[in-house]
Structure 1
Amino acid sequence: MESNASRFVATTQIFGYRLGRSGKSMHDKTQRQAVILDAVSKGGSLEVAALAATLGVTGETIRRDIKELQAKGLVTKVHGAVTLPNTVLNTSFRDRMKHNSEGKRRIAAAIAERVVDGDSLIIETGTTTTYVAQALTARRGLTIITNSLDVARSLAFRSDNAVYMAGGRLTPDDGAALDQSAADFVRRFRVKYSISSVVGVDLEDGLTANTVAEADFSRLVISRAETPIIAIDSSKFDRKGLVQITEPYQVGLIVTDARLSTEYRRLFDGIEITEC
């Protein structure tokens, strides 16, 4: 059976890290915590000792990292190991689809109004983006690139669309491909619109995701579109994920069901905003 330590090494190497006894210690706290959270998200539970050995730092350093992540509600420490909190583990993709569903549908309708027959889009995985895919079923002749099974299923068999599914290992919760093969596939396309969502947005760090893989994939998707669209439902404001996705100026359009404060309008200065 594969050990936690070896599974963690395999996970970190996906992101290009060479850690442990044969590599360099990871002394940057933000980078270290991002890798810890990403590995726990994939592995479910990892031993503190294995994390320390793999990252080349002391157990005390890892315990401080875990304490900070736990204070943010991102992980839970249990019996010498770290795992996702019950609130995260028990909230499935289907349950998240129900959260603020009315606001997400309004966002989806506003984005669909902008899209015309024949447009090309990259649509990322996410609950709000799944609603966007459903709202686009009335359009014809779309070219869709996606890493989401739900998005592909919504649009592949309708209205003369051409739907391309990025391959790779699928995440068990939402059926999304986020690995290098998916990124390499998406990088081959240049589209009119990209549609992404976020875990949180706040005034300090802007648009954020919970894992390195999610942030890296979103950043790539944004770079491949003439007009990158970010769908942000009202529950995401004043929330912070662990990893920044991109600077706001890289975004072409923000679509939200919230009424933005003066501070958030200043954060998104120069970006088109649609409030719905």
Structure 2
Amino acid sequence: MLTHRQQKILTLIEDTSRVRVEDLADRFATSPQTIRKDLQALAELHHVVRFHGGATLVGGAEYSPPAEREGEAHAAKASIGSAVAARLPPSGALFLNAGTTTVQAIRKLTGARQLRIIVDNVDLAAEIRSYQGVEVIVPGGAVRRSDGAILGAEAVDYIRQFRPDYAVIGAAAVAEDGGLLDYDLAEVQVCRAMMEYARHVILAVDGTKFRRTAPVRFGHLSDIHTLVTDSSPKWLTPLCMDCEVELVLAAG
């Protein structure tokens, strides 16, 4: 049985998708150790998944509405999108892992002709299907209600039928050890397939992703070829060099 504080913490996680220990300690005027025990109790009841410094809902939670996330660091995401678009071909095929940063690459793409885009999100597919010179393909699978993401084994199997030149992917966080992190295990299975079957993988993330964490590791910087971002913490450049990853800083 949950305590009153644990129930309030769970409600907060359901509302915000994820929480951090320090924020909860301040909110409830208690110690971080007490909050960790509360989160551990919720984890043992399979309500949440712990990660270093916080917790998220089991299964990755329902993300905040896309419109809210798109407003975060909008200028940075737009400049990143332009830098990614400049590296994409006008024709051929590419995987698009939907996100508020990756979508900017397609919005900034000009001169497309006979470009086939395999995208893992029905909402994004509906947006870009009218773009000139673009053919949109979506895999089968379950559709997540909150943001239109396509999930499941059917989607992964469908993705594996293609071998495009490029994949444009995102991440919820990038760790200092190069780990690529996200919140939803089902969603990252699709992204992993895109990374595996594309010849060139572009990771598009804004600078806030280097200061965050998430519970699911779906890859490493060494699995990608190009990283496009708007800022670079001091550890990123040497790590990219070690992983033989092209680091592109988008102009603000």
TM-score under structure 2 normalisation? Answer: 0.74
Q: Quick one: structure 1 residues 71 and 117, their matched pair in 2 at CA, closer, same or farther if it must change by over 3 Å?
A: closer
Percent identity over paired residues? 25
In 1, the alpha carbon distance for the partners of 2:155 and 2:205 equals: 24
Higher helix proportion (structure 1 or 2): 1
Residue 184 of structure 1 aligns with which residue?
Answer: 157
Residue 78 of structure 2 aligns with which residue?
Answer: 105
Residue 91 of structure 2 aligns with which residue?
Answer: 118
In 2, the alpha carbon distance for the partners of 1:226 and 1:271 equals: 14
Residue 152, structure 1, aligned to residue 113, structure 2? no
In 2, the alpha carbon distance for the partners of 1:97 and 1:186 equals: 26
The Cα shift of 1:227 comes to 0.5
1:22-101 aligned at under 5 Å gives the runs: 62-63=43-44, 69=50, 72-75=53-56, 91-101=64-74
Q: Tell me if structure 1 keeps the 8 A contact 2:173–2:181.
A: yes
In 2, the alpha carbon distance for the partners of 1:96 and 1:273 equals: 24
Q: Quick one: structure 1 residues 64 and 72, their matched pair in 2 at CA, closer, same or farther if it must change by over 3 Å?
A: farther
Residue 130 of structure 1 aligns with which residue?
Answer: 103
Q: RCO greater where, 1 or 2, for CA within 8 Å and sep 6 or more?
A: 2
In 1, the alpha carbon distance for the partners of 2:62 and 2:186 equals: 18
Q: Tell me if structure 2 keeps the 8 A contact 1:137–1:154.
A: no
In 2, the alpha carbon distance for the partners of 1:244 and 1:74 equals: 15
In 2, the alpha carbon distance for the partners of 1:171 and 1:107 equals: 26
Q: Quick one: structure 1 residues 176 and 61, their matched pair in 2 at CA, closer, same or farther if it must change by over 3 Å?
A: closer
Structure 2 unaligned spans of 5+: 1-12, 18-39
Structure 1 unaligned spans of 5+: 1-39, 45-58, 77-81
Q: Quick one: structure 1 residues 117 and 234, their matched pair in 2 at CA, closer, same or farther if it must change by over 3 Å?
A: same
Q: Quick one: structure 1 residues 70 and 121, their matched pair in 2 at CA, closer, same or farther if it must change by over 3 Å?
A: closer
TM-score under structure 1 normalisation? Answer: 0.68
Q: Tell me the SS of whatever aligns to 1:69.
A: strand
The Cα shift of 1:90 comes to 7.9
Residue 275, structure 1, aligned to residue 249, structure 2? yes
Q: Quick one: structure 1 residues 90 and 179, their matched pair in 2 at CA, closer, same or farther if it must change by over 3 Å?
A: closer
What code does the residue aligned with 1:151 have? L
In 2, the alpha carbon distance for the partners of 1:83 and 1:251 equals: 25
Q: Tell me if structure 1 keeps the 8 A contact 2:90–2:112.
A: yes
